[in-house]
Structure 1
Amino acid sequence: MIREIKLENKDINFRKENDSIGSKDIPEDVYYGVQSLRAAENFRITGLFMHPEIINSLAYIKKAAAITNCEVGVLDKKIADAIVKACDEILEGNLHEYFIVDPIQGGAGTSLNMNANEVIANRAIEILGGKKGEYSIVHPNDHVNCGQSTNDVIPTAGKITALKLLEHAQSELYRLHDAFSQKAIEFDHIIKMGRTQMQDAVPIRLGQEFKAYSVAIMRDVNRMEKAMDEMRVLNMGGTAIGTGVNADVKYLKRVVPNLSEIIGMDLIQAFDLIDSTQNLDSFVAVSGAVKACAVTLSKIANDLRLMSSGPRTGFGEINLPAKQNGSSIMPGKVNPVIPEVVNQVAFNIIGNDTTITMAAEGGQLELNAFEPIIFYCLFQSIDTLTYAVQTFIDNCVKGITANEERCRDLVENSVGIITAICPHVGYSTAASLAKEAIKTGTSIRTLILEAGLLSEDELNEILDPFNMTEPGISGKKSISNELKTV
């Protein structure tokens, strides 16, 4: 359902505002203005409101700009202070409902920038004792947007928002890494059958599989951190196309350091503002890191669904926590719903990455007009990844248990253990034994003992779980010390 801005109430009083298109009636008590309302009417696309983090990011930017313009003597201190106070109110969670433009919009984000300018201006006017719409007191363009352009404000807001969302995602990924690490220790002694191309291969310890998951997750965290470095480079001060037109030279030099201090982030100004205004490849890099992480998670979710399949007619090697009924018709059926939702989130993130890639490619000359769709997809990808990881940890990974006997039985009755015996009896003999085992259903162990190829003691040593799962060791070796170094 598309969100409507309803103005038909006869009890509403209106104020008249003008822009380059003409005049328009605006509800008297709202903080947005004519440009925001036109945009809300033009772009009824998703039916959603702006992400609260980008609203906060805009408030930080407008606050830093007002402080900087005041410092360099471009903006009157009274007006600057009022703008700062209005921004602080937004950062406290107020006035968000007046950000009415759709996340997907034409105009490279001008509508969102003006929505912020109008809301902040009207609140600043009230702080100075005026009435909303009295823009001679505080003007959305002349004062709130002083020294700025949509083309440096919006990409800066997008980067700050991405950084904040990625920090949350990383926190959950660290938790997931720890959860897999704990399971790796818990399952370290459990031998099971390894599989390649869905066929029996050679034995592996269940703990080794879960350790590999933890290592993969940490690699994703590191990859994400590298991509985040690109989000810290801003084109703020470049204004329209990176040349800094209409921005005071002193403002241009001080606005990013001020923003960095206000927001508490290590932000830097791009050394080439024209490049930073034209090109959005940094968002592609971040999206790629998020996508890579989603692929990792989806692969792990696939593994867990396979290993828990059954419970009687599948692998049945592990048990996933039962979270809800699995069928409206089959009593007692329980499905792997948490891994399934992780898979679906990954599919969506991969699709979002394609959109982000095409939108970044679609820019022309001095500007890319498609930041709104990039931000919509990127923020959704990061948020859904974060929530998927959260439920994966708390509703699945932490509660996984192992069917130890089932794992051992599958190993001992598998032809795959012949690989460990091959160096002791030769390839040809091993191949013949494998064929015989498959044909007759007799275990490899029984065939070897019946043929007198190896003694029981020799066989037991060769088939020791740890000898089969790590080269050059004898006896049990814990991986807990290894995990501490990961």
Structure 2
Amino acid sequence: MTAVAAVRREHDLLGDRDVPAEAYWGIHSLRAMENFPVTGTPISVYPQLVEALAAVKEAAALANEELGLLPAEKAAAIVAACREIRAGALHDQFVVDVIQGGAGTSTNMNANEVVANRALELLGHGKGQYQHLHPNEDVNLSQSTNDVYPTAVKLATITAAHGLLRAMAVLQDAFAGKAVEFRDILKMGRTQLQDAVPMTLGQEFSAYAVMLDEDRSRLAEAVELIHEINLGATAIGTGLNAPPGYAETARRHLAAITGLPLVTAANLVEATQDCGAFVHLSGVLKRIAVKLSKSCNDLRLLSSGPRAGLGEINLPPVQAGSSIMPGKVNPVIPEVVNQVAFTVIGNDVTITMAAEAGQLQLNAFEPVILHSLATSLTSLRAACVTLAERCVTGITANTEVLRATVENSIGLVTALNPHIGYTAATSIAQEALTTGRGVAELVLEKGLLPADRLATLLTPERLAGAGQG
């Protein structure tokens, strides 16, 4: 005989449904799972979001108790349940799909049900016995999805952004370390893939470090805007059904819980419908992705070969490169970072469209904004650490190849132009190109400069200039 799974019956405005007896989620979460089988990615995949939702519910319970709306016993049970969730418990009970209709209502309902059912257990009751503590009437007291969800998304985004900032610092340090290591290695710089003028390999790697440092500053600035929240706005920003003083009280408790300098938006009606801070942050993430991808393009190009490419640097081999070509090793780490960058750029388009599609007093598309932002932040963080640890720190220079390109480059004549004149320099360049002979050799042969003067002009220190890495 097949065992019948234990269930409990719950009720909502559409009727009654059976919910697994051991589930901490309830009927609203059940309907959301049925309605939104979209990505197969539950919100539990984003632990920062789950913990942020618990922090908001905890702050709301403390505020409601302080303002005399919630009995102390219920508040204590809700707070205890939320703290368990923030410590990592019950994350698997956050089951609704990350992309959903309803402006995040299903996510908020899922949180309400999980918190309520755990609080009921702490009070000595069974799951689903909502007459003792109700998901909406108690856990969601003085709240709406429209202020809970955006606030939780912002908290989760801040946490994820701090993770990205740390990862970018790791990658920046890796590039900076190589800049020091390669500071005395002369090479040819290139513009439009043509020989330009000499530089050092250290200068080349220093530029990548500086680009990351600039982007870390821009990201930190963008994250500051995310600290403005609309908790207390309730449905559309008017604060309907929240008591006087609730917004500030809840903000104070939430700031204490998270340790973040949160501020309440000056105009809650505006804040409830506006997604501008998310658009701005996404734009910064796109900037980071573009520049990171450009750096990876350079690494792939500089390491191309090993015989038929530039072959100026060697990327550390991390896996076999081909199932048919023995001995082939590919630049797989830069390649995966390129693909992360492409994803981030696509996510920025999604976030832009979702923010633009908001209508009147609410943007219903914040779930896809959350999903896109979270994907971009977590993927970029992983990409930066992977690039630093699996690629940049192991890069070596092919010094002989680099020296030969400088000695044989027509671009070397640019450094001599002020000393032999443009006409003579042009003639030398043309002859060097035609004959394959070196620029320095031809300058000496024609008596355009004495040998000691030429040697001085072609020292690495002078050729690399003041920006030497």
Distance 1:408 1:321 in 2: 21
Q: Find out whether 1:265 has 2:223 as its counterpart.
A: no
Distance 2:99 2:63 in 1: 30
Q: Which residue of 2 aligns with 1:383?
A: 378
Distance 1:377 1:204 in 2: 40
Structure 2 residue matching 1:385: 3-state secondary structure: helix
Selected match of 2:37 from 13, 25, 44: 44
Runs of 4+ in structure 1 deviating by more than 4 angstroms, as ranges, are none
Structure 1 residue matching 2:161: 3-state secondary structure: helix
Selected match of 1:30 from 1, 23, 47: 23
Distance 1:158 1:385 in 2: 18
Post-superposition CA distance 1:171-202 (Å, at most 9, x none)? 11111111111111110000000000000000
Sequence identity (%): 53
Q: Which residue of 2 aligns with 1:64?
A: 59
Deviation, structure 1 residue 142: 0.7
Indicate conservation of the 8 Å contact 2:161/2:377, yes or no.
yes
Distance 1:266 1:250 in 2: 19
Selected match of 2:157 from 159, 162, 187: 162
Q: What amino acid is the match of 2:313?
A: I
Q: Which residue of 1 aligns with 2:211?
A: 216
Q: What amino acid is the match of 1:42?
A: N
Distance 2:437 2:397 in 1: 26
Q: Find out whether 1:191 has 2:186 as its counterpart.
A: yes
Structure 2 residue matching 1:200: 3-state secondary structure: strand
Q: Which residue of 1 aligns with 2:312?
A: 317
Q: Find out whether 1:105 has 2:100 as its counterpart.
A: yes
Deviation, structure 1 residue 108: 0.2
Structure 1 residue matching 2:189: 3-state secondary structure: strand
Post-superposition CA distance 1:259-285 (Å, at most 9, x none)? 000111111111111111010010011
Structure 2 residue matching 1:201: 3-state secondary structure: strand
Distance 1:52 1:369 in 2: 22
Q: Which residue of 2 aligns with 1:483?
A: none
Distance 1:408 1:29 in 2: 70
Post-superposition CA distance 1:17-37 (Å, at most 9, x none)? 111111111111111111100
Q: Find out whether 1:18 has 2:11 as its counterpart.
A: yes
Distance 1:67 1:76 in 2: 10
Q: What amino acid is the match of 2:59?
A: A
Gaps of 5+ in 2: none
Deviation, structure 1 residue 10: 4.8
Selected match of 1:295 from 282, 290, 295: 290
Deviation, structure 1 residue 478: 6.8
Q: Which residue of 2 aligns with 1:135?
A: 130
Post-superposition CA distance 1:335-379 (Å, at most 9, x none)? 011001110000010000100010001000000000000000110
Selected match of 1:144 from 139, 144, 160: 139
Q: What amino acid is the match of 2:258?
A: I
Distance 1:10 1:470 in 2: 80
Q: What amino acid is the match of 1:114?
A: M
Deviation, structure 1 residue 334: 0.4
Indicate conservation of the 8 Å contact 2:60/2:141, yes or no.
yes
Deviation, structure 1 residue 204: 0.7
Q: Find out whether 1:441 has 2:431 as its counterpart.
A: no
Selected match of 1:409 from 382, 404, 408: 404
Q: What amino acid is the match of 1:75?
A: L
Q: What amino acid is the match of 2:11?
A: N
Q: What amino acid is the match of 1:295?
A: V
Deviation, structure 1 residue 11: 2.1
Q: What amino acid is the match of 1:470?
A: G
Q: What amino acid is the match of 1:15?
A: R
Q: Which residue of 2 aligns with 1:229?
A: 224
Q: Which residue of 2 aligns with 1:394?
A: 389
Structure 1 residue matching 2:344: 3-state secondary structure: helix
Please say which of residues 435-444 and 31-40 is displaced more in the overlay.
435-444
Selected match of 2:359 from 355, 359, 364: 364
Distance 1:184 1:269 in 2: 44
Q: What amino acid is the match of 2:284?
A: A
Indicate conservation of the 8 Å contact 2:203/2:468, yes or no.
no
Q: Which residue of 1 aligns with 2:280?
A: 285
Deviation, structure 1 residue 250: 2.0
Post-superposition CA distance 1:370-405 (Å, at most 9, x none)? 000000011000000000011101000111111111
Deviation, structure 1 residue 78: 0.3
Structure 2 residue matching 1:323: 3-state secondary structure: coil
Q: Which residue of 2 aligns with 1:6?
A: none
Structure 1 residue matching 2:426: 3-state secondary structure: helix
Distance 1:357 1:452 in 2: 63
Q: Which residue of 1 aligns with 2:457?
A: 462
Structure 1 residue matching 2:269: 3-state secondary structure: helix
Deviation, structure 1 residue 113: 0.1
Q: What amino acid is the match of 2:291?
A: T
Structure 1 residue matching 2:100: 3-state secondary structure: coil
Selected match of 2:425 from 409, 430, 452: 430
Distance 1:208 1:478 in 2: 5
Q: What amino acid is the match of 1:68?
A: A
Structure 2 residue matching 1:265: 3-state secondary structure: coil
Paired residues for 1:330-345 under 5 Å: 330-345=325-340
Q: What amino acid is the match of 1:184?
A: A
Gaps of 5+ in 1: 1-8, 472-476, 480-486
Indicate conservation of the 8 Å contact 2:7/2:21, yes or no.
yes
Structure 2 residue matching 1:123: 3-state secondary structure: helix
Q: What amino acid is the match of 1:11?
A: V
Structure 2 residue matching 1:249: 3-state secondary structure: coil
Between Structure 1 and Structure 2, how many residues are aligned?
Answer: 466
Q: Which residue of 2 aligns with 1:484?
A: none
Deviation, structure 1 residue 407: 0.5
Deviation, structure 1 residue 432: 1.5
Indicate conservation of the 8 Å contact 2:146/2:234, yes or no.
yes
Distance 1:181 1:98 in 2: 44
Structure 2 residue matching 1:101: 3-state secondary structure: coil
Selected match of 2:110 from 105, 110, 115: 115
